[in-house]
Amino acid sequence: MKLSRLALAIALASPAAFAANETPRFDEQLKLPEVVVTASRTAESKGDTYSAVTVFTRDDIERLQPSTVPDLLRRTPGVQVMQNGGRGSTVGVFVRGTKTAQTLVLIDGQRANDTNLGGAPLNTLSVDQIERVEILRGPRSAIYGSDAIGGVIQIFTRRAEGPGLSPRVRVAYGSHDTWEQSLGLSGGNNATRFNLSLNHEQSNGFSRSSLRTGTDADNDGFENSSIALNLNHRFSSQTEAGLNISHTDSEYEYDGFGWSQFPYDEVKNSFYSAYLSHQLTQLWSTRLELGYSEGEMHNLDRAAVTDSFNETERESLNWTNSLSLSDAQRLQVGLDWYRDHIHNSGRYTEDSRYNAAAFLQHSYNGENFGTEVGVRHDDNQQFGTENSWNAAFKLPLNDRHQVTLSYAEGFRAPLLSDLYYPVNCYPGWGCSGGNPDLQPETSRTYELRWTGLVSPQVDIEAAAYRTELEDAINGWPPANLDEARIDGIEVTVSADLLGWQNHLSLSLLNAEDRATGNDLVNRARKTLSWDIDRHFGQFAVGASWSASGRTYFDPANTTVIPGYGLLGLRARWQAHPELEVAVKVDNLLDKAYYTTTNFGVPYQEDGRSAQLAFTWTPSL
């Protein structure tokens, strides 16, 4: 039978109810705001998780109208974003003060971090092809292994709306001659569901260099085409299989700052995954996933015959089992395996490695208290074995408030570029390259979190944490720092006041290199995000305010990047049951700001910009 949203939420929250009903479809679970998948690699009630998690559903994405995935992530407490060029260029994401390579990114369950560069292709993903985004803050290496020191970001591509056919067409035009066009078709029947999305974006861009001289005075354009397909079939009430495919092909320009004339990058990324899930008994469900991904980046120049390139491949296999031991207890048991390959113009001495792992996690959610204990054993081809632990204790103060005390370990294996980048020598600069003597990074995080329902209209979550990093990799050539320490406080308030929906996030951070006492680069000590929205019949209006304190560009803390505050406005009109019109203005006050520099020259961010969009969803 098909569960209603309320019944599905109850089924997920209670193992007994879950066992008594038909296993919910995975695509239906992904549409529920109070369900979380990333915390334990299986769907569970958000209230039962032991980690700080922010969830953006499809409804949230349409309400907030973000232009890119980084625009959406900026609204998350403890998350800071830095972009190294115009739209489409590489993005740095700092979760709870950790660097980009210390946060694991998953796309439909598959690892997306580049084994050579560390980041994931968040810059090329189309928000119109996304069903939901889950941001888990804090280490999760006991479940995911390497890279999950700062947290885990999981992106799920768009899913079917239900039986029948549901087409959609979206066209948007905005500043800098920016066009966005997308086509989508979803549907099926009670057994088979699918969603197909096609998207194209292009923009003339603007000059990111503040020099505005020579070749750096030109606009930095962007173009991206993408396709995403999700297909799943229900063989019976207990057995389901699915397939996910996504591919992006993009090109973006940037300023060379005298090192090159008209540089641009061509980037392609593909992710393929298939899964088979089965409810073996009322108490035991199992899921087998097979994945493959490939990435390709070419660094080019329109005024020269140059081509440095980087190509990566990853094969993966995951087997996860969930056992409901009782109404209050659940056990997660799984095996992980993946192999990374790299091929680039640098010709590394080592170009592949594998990682095999097993993990176990037990959770108990009783009336008087709750506990979670997990452990994972990784066997890495280069670095041998690593054990990661996590433990948490949850104490309900009453039916409205609870506190959670947790401890978690994390680790990250060095990138292949950190280890084996060829040594190059430059006159006047010396020689530099990879460091094959690097050791894996490790971390310990202690956290105290309080969640409370102050009133039926006001929900508050606050967390204080400390992360201690050992052998943190930094600099070039890369080296293991003795220790870094990150202290932070996060406060999130969700409130419905006088018909206005408010979401406020405040983060206070002190990320310090313990050897020097200096701040870690690109980490602001204070960040704030506030979204406010309201419906007036067929109309909806909203505003966003975000602010960030100053950061430092260099480890010596001599180059300061000033703080900034940004205001944005948005509105939507349901002009017809099949037609929605949306408009937004970002950086309304035309604030001049930047988040990073290149040899002391700021990479300017966009000033005031606007967009008008039409979405047509005809009925068939």
Give the tokens for residue 323: 């056992």
User: What's the confidence (pLDDT) of residue 285?
Assistant: 94
Task: State the average pLDDT over residues 45-59.
Answer: 91
CA-to-CA separations, 87 to 61, 419, 552, in angstroms, rounded: 19, 30, 23
Helix (H) or strand (E) holding 351: none
What are the tens digits of pLDDT across the range 368-415? 999 999 999 999 988 889 999 999 999 999 989 999 999 999 999 988
Could you give the angle at the alpha carbon of 146 between the alpha carbons of 467 and 157, nearest 5°?
A: 105
Tell me how far CA of residue 374 lies from CA of 325, 362, 392, 554, in angstroms.
Answer: 16, 6, 9, 37
The C-alpha atoms of residue 390 and residue 357 are separated, in whole angstroms, by 16
Contact 117, 48 (CB under 8 A): no
2-15 pLDDT, tens digit each: 333 444 444 444 44
Instruction: Give the pLDDT band of residue 304 (cuts 50, 70, 90).
Output: confident
Q: List b or e across 123-152, with b for residues whose CB sees 16 or more CB atoms inside 10 angstroms.
A: bbbbbbbbbbbbbbbbbbbbbbbbbbbbbb
Q: With bands split at pLDDT 50, 70 and 90, how would you rate the model's confidence at 55?
A: very high
Residue-wise pLDDT tens digits, 143-181 = 999 999 999 999 999 999 888 899 999 999 999 999 999
- Pairing outcome for strands 151-157 and 103-107: parallel
Kindly report, residue by residue over 180-215, the tens digit of the pLDDT.
Answer: 999 999 999 989 999 999 999 999 988 877 776 666
Range with the poorest average pLDDT among 249-263, 281-295, 535-549: 249-263
Its pTM stands at 0.92
Q: Which residues contact 131 (CB under 8 A, 6 or more apart)?
A: 30, 31, 57, 58, 156, 157, 158, 159
Determine contact, residues 200/182, Cβ cutoff 8 Å.
yes
Ranking 114-128, 318-332, 508-522 by mean pLDDT, the lowest is: 114-128
What CA–CA distance (Å, rounded) separates 36 from 57? Answer: 11
For residue 17, pLDDT beyond 50:
no
Query: What pLDDT is recorded for position 449?
Result: 97
Q: What is the pLDDT of residue 14?
A: 43
* Cα three-residue angle 112-122-447, rounded to 5 degrees: 75
Taking residues 563-580, report their average pLDDT.
96
φ, ψ (nearest 5 deg) of residue 245 = -135, 130
Least confident of 81-90, 395-404, 566-575: 81-90
As a residue count, the chain comes to 620
Better-scored residue on pLDDT, 604 or 608: 608
Q: What is the per-residue DSSP string for 148-205?
A: TTSEEEEEEE----SSEEEEEEEEEEEGGGEEEEEEEEEEE-SSEEEEEEEEEEEEEE
Residue 357 has pLDDT above 70, yes or no: yes
Q: By the 8 A CB rule, do 528 and 545 touch?
A: yes
Task: Give the C-alpha separation, 412 to 152, whole Å.
Answer: 13
pLDDT digits (tens, 9 = 90+) for 220-246: 889 999 999 999 999 998 999 999 999
**In angstroms, how far is the first alpha carbon of the chain from the final one?**
24
Is the bond preceding 477 in cis, omega lying within 30 degrees of 0?
yes
Q: Which helix (H) or strand (E) holds 564?
A: strand 564-576
Do 56 and 132 touch, CB atoms closer than 8 A?
Answer: yes
Is the distance from CB of 416 to CB of 433 less than 8 angstroms? Answer: no
Strands (E), 434-499: 441-455, 458-470, 473-474, 479-480, 483-497
pLDDT at 430: 67
Q: What stretch of H or E contains 146?
A: none
SS (H, E, C) 40-91: CCCCEEHHHCCCEEEEECHHHHHHHCCCCHHHHHCCCCCEEEEECCCCCCCE
Please tell me the distance from the alpha carbon of residue 135 to that of residue 467, in angstroms, as a whole number.
18
Give the three-state DSSP class for 176.
Answer: helix
- Name the pLDDT band for 22 (thresholds 50, 70, 90): low
- How big is the chain by its Cα radius of gyration, in Å? 24
| pLDDT band at 28; cut points 50, 70, 90 | confident
Task: Assign domain 5-616 to its CATH architecture.
Answer: Beta Barrel (2.40)
| Contact (Cβ atoms closer than 8 angstroms) between residue 74 and residue 529 | yes
pLDDT at 495: 94
Supply 459's token pair: 């929900």
- The pLDDT tens digits of the residues spanning 415-460 come to 888 888 887 776 666 677 788 888 899 999 999 999 998 888 999 9
* pLDDT score, position 3: 37
Angle (CA) 515 521 527, round 5° = 120
User: Is the pLDDT reported for residue 21 higher than 80?
Assistant: no
Residue-wise pLDDT for 312-328, tens only, equals 999 999 999 999 999 89
Q: Name the nearest CA neighbour of 426 among 597, 259, 254.
A: 259
CA distance 25 to 9: 12
pLDDT at 272: 96
**Mean pLDDT, rounded, of the chain:** 88
Query: What pLDDT, on the 0 to 100 scale, is given for residue 31?
Result: 87
Find all residues with CB under 8 Å of 3, minimum gap 6, and list them: 11, 21, 22, 24, 28
Structure token pair of residue 414? 């060095």
